[in-house]
Chain A
């Protein structure tokens, strides 16, 4: 225990005055850097990030905060710009990609930031650093959907359902009775086909698409 001194710091914990109160330090001992700003700027859609003057118009009018607590495009931009990478990852990595691309932010930004694209770029920045780990259902579905469009040029319902369950490690669930009977009903009513047709010469398009997305 500390003496009756005004202030004392032990292992980053500040002991204050006569009350001998324990107070965890609130100072961010972070090595801030502009490195991440540079990186996001170079990503597709990230180029306008440096125009931001932190007015909050984007967050103020954003569709999401009503449903997704702490979603804050201005805040994301600030964290990247200040180089608060650790906070971005620990507090926001599960949020950034939830943007619904309504573009209200971009239309209203007084500085000409393409906010929606910048938010995407920040999500990509985190994705590139493999911070997401295990995929959520939404993310897994997104990935499968995109892969299928790129590879085949169309969606094969049966394949997408199978891939989805397998990617989320729930193939067993797919074989449950009600799922099978639902599948059967959809098949007999013509809602799904067992084998999706192929699109002629899609390979070439697919190749080009992959190159562009690289």
Chain B
């Protein structure tokens, strides 16, 4: 069987599809949305950390490689609804607006990615109560010249450019109250990137990041953090945001400045919540249909984290990317290539 089903058209699924096609496999790529690129495309990310490269420089070639390859059949607006059979002969029902069809595949790759954590449940941050409390994903769209504000950081309440911006780290991550005790792994670098983007565009706007630890383990991340402090005067304050209120029509945040041993009250014009990653509905749905194991948080669980990181609990079904846990774009591309190699060796 030289046919492979790839579920999910984010960077991971795109990379896996392209590599498999290059090796001579016939790939069907099933994507729920009517566009490719996953969360990066959905929220119109503009620049990627740590190099501040334009997303288009990275995502466009990855998409082009897929769309121009005759070995890949792209099913947009499609999902899978049922699975029968075993490796290496899976029968999968694929559904789109026109109807349902059954196809046979030698292997399946699940690359269904993540969802942004919805901070509404963190009531003390006032996300749904105060218009100018926004998420980092919303800021990605605001900073994109092709986005709704043509790249201007207009605050939602009155369209003004904020003079003081605070960013809260770890929103919905490292937080047992919401059941996500894990680290979102990209929040720190994304906030640092956004702070720099804001300072570049509006040098007079002050940016304060409230953090517990700045986790800068990726390539070039620590350097970006240094740059934010040295070149852009982004102020990093050690203390987790405690609450947001409205004082005289202005957003006011409370936190402890732990280095000073003192609680502080700080008035700002806009607050960005660095919302973390959570396993998406699409991932949970795919896991149910395919009958593969999830970990305690709902992410897909590898057969063995060290020895077979891209194999699911079921033979012939492979997993890759942010559906296994929070991950950055660079590593998603590595994952996409790795899973393609694993599939190829299993089907030879």
Closest to A72 in B: B261
Contact with A along B140-175 (1 / 0, CB 8 A): 000000000000000000000000000000100011
Q: Is B256 positioned at the interface, with any CB of A under 8 Å from its CB? A: yes
Contact with B along A57-95 (1 / 0, CB 8 A): 111111001000010101100000000000000000000
- What residues of chain A lie closer than 8 Å to B239, measured between beta carbons? 55-56, 60
Contact size class for A? 20 to 34
Closest CB in chain B relative to A109 CB, distance in Å:
7
Instruction: Establish whether residues A61 and B258, one from each chain, have CB atoms under 8 Å apart when the complex forms.
Output: no
Complex: how many Å from CA A101 to CA B269? Answer: 32
Instruction: Establish whether residues B177 and A61, one from each chain, have CB atoms under 8 Å apart when the complex forms.
Output: no
Contact with A along B238-280 (1 / 0, CB 8 A): 1111110000000000111110011110000000000000000
Complex: how many Å from CA A62 to CA B124? Answer: 13
- What residues of chain A lie closer than 8 Å to B264, measured between beta carbons? 60
- What residues of chain B lie closer than 8 Å to A111, measured between beta carbons? 176
Given contacts A56-B239, A56-B242, A109-B177, contact A72 B212 (CB under 8 A): no
Name B's A-contacting residues (CB within 8 A). Answer: 124, 170, 174-177, 212, 238-243, 254-258, 261-264
Contact with B along A25-50 (1 / 0, CB 8 A): 00000000000000000000000000
Complex: how many Å from CA A55 to CA B241? Answer: 9
Instruction: Establish whether residues A60 and B177, one from each chain, have CB atoms under 8 Å apart when the complex forms.
Output: no
Instruction: Establish whether residues A110 and B256, one from each chain, have CB atoms under 8 Å apart when the complex forms.
Output: no
Interchain CB contact (< 8 A) of B240 among A56, A75, A107, A112: A56
Complex: how many Å from CA A192 to CA B174? Answer: 54
Instruction: Establish whether residues B174 and A110, one from each chain, have CB atoms under 8 Å apart when the complex forms.
Output: yes
- What residues of chain B lie closer than 8 Å to A62, measured between beta carbons? 263
Instruction: Establish whether residues A55 and B176, one from each chain, have CB atoms under 8 Å apart when the complex forms.
Output: no
Instruction: Establish whether residues B241 and A110, one from each chain, have CB atoms under 8 Å apart when the complex forms.
Output: no
Q: Is A53 positioned at the interface, with any CB of B under 8 Å from its CB? A: yes
Q: Is A54 positioned at the interface, with any CB of B under 8 Å from its CB? A: yes
Instruction: Establish whether residues A60 and B243, one from each chain, have CB atoms under 8 Å apart when the complex forms.
Output: yes
Complex: how many Å from CA A56 to CA B254? Answer: 10
- What residues of chain A lie closer than 8 Å to B240, measured between beta carbons? 55-57, 60, 110
Q: Is A193 positioned at the interface, with any CB of B under 8 Å from its CB? A: no
Closest CB in chain B relative to A73 CB, distance in Å:
9
Closest CB in chain B relative to A69 CB, distance in Å:
9
Q: Is A7 positioned at the interface, with any CB of B under 8 Å from its CB? A: no
Closest to B238 in A: A56
Q: Is A108 positioned at the interface, with any CB of B under 8 Å from its CB? A: yes
Write 20 A-B pairs (CB below 8 A) sorted by A numbering: A53-B174, A54-B212, A55-B212, A55-B239, A56-B240, A56-B255, A56-B257, A56-B263, A57-B240, A59-B256, A59-B258, A59-B263, A60-B243, A60-B256, A60-B264, A70-B261, A72-B263, A74-B256, A110-B177, A112-B177
Complex: how many Å from CA A54 to CA B258? Answer: 8
Instruction: Establish whether residues B242 and A57, one from each chain, have CB atoms under 8 Å apart when the complex forms.
Output: yes
Given contacts A57-B256, A61-B254, A74-B258, contact A108 B176 (CB under 8 A): no
Given contacts A61-B243, A108-B242, contact A75 B177 (CB under 8 A): no
Closest CB in chain A relative to B77 CB, distance in Å:
39
Name A's B-contacting residues (CB within 8 A). Answer: 53-62, 65, 70, 72, 74-75, 107-112
Contact residues of A: prevailing secondary structure:
loop
- What residues of chain B lie closer than 8 Å to A110, measured between beta carbons? 170, 174-177, 240
Complex: how many Å from CA A60 to CA B212? Answer: 13
Complex: how many Å from CA A65 to CA B255? Answer: 12
- What residues of chain A lie closer than 8 Å to B241, measured between beta carbons? 57, 60
- What residues of chain A lie closer than 8 Å to B242, measured between beta carbons? 56-61, 108
- What residues of chain B lie closer than 8 Å to A108, measured between beta carbons? 124, 177, 242-243
Complex: how many Å from CA A26 to CA B242? Answer: 31
**Of listed A53, A75, A110, residue having the most chain B CB within 10 A:** A110
Complex: how many Å from CA A163 to CA B257? Answer: 43
- What residues of chain A lie closer than 8 Å to B175, measured between beta carbons? 110
Instruction: Establish whether residues A60 and B176, one from each chain, have CB atoms under 8 Å apart when the complex forms.
Output: no
Closest to B169 in A: A55
Complex: how many Å from CA A31 to CA B40? Answer: 52
- What residues of chain B lie closer than 8 Å to A61, measured between beta carbons? 124, 242-243, 254
Closest to A64 in B: B263
Instruction: Establish whether residues B254 and A60, one from each chain, have CB atoms under 8 Å apart when the complex forms.
Output: yes
- What residues of chain A lie closer than 8 Å to B258, measured between beta carbons? 54-56, 59, 74
Closest CB in chain A relative to B123 CB, distance in Å:
10
In the A-B complex, the 8 residue pairs with the smallest Cβ-Cβ separation, listed nearest first, are A60-B242, A56-B256, A61-B242, A55-B240, A59-B256, A110-B175, A60-B256, A56-B239
Closest CB in chain B relative to A170 CB, distance in Å:
36
- What residues of chain A lie closer than 8 Å to B124, measured between beta carbons? 61, 108
Instruction: Establish whether residues A60 and B263, one from each chain, have CB atoms under 8 Å apart when the complex forms.
Output: yes
Instruction: Establish whether residues B256 and A53, one from each chain, have CB atoms under 8 Å apart when the complex forms.
Output: no
Interchain CB contact (< 8 A) of A75 among B170, B243, B261: B261
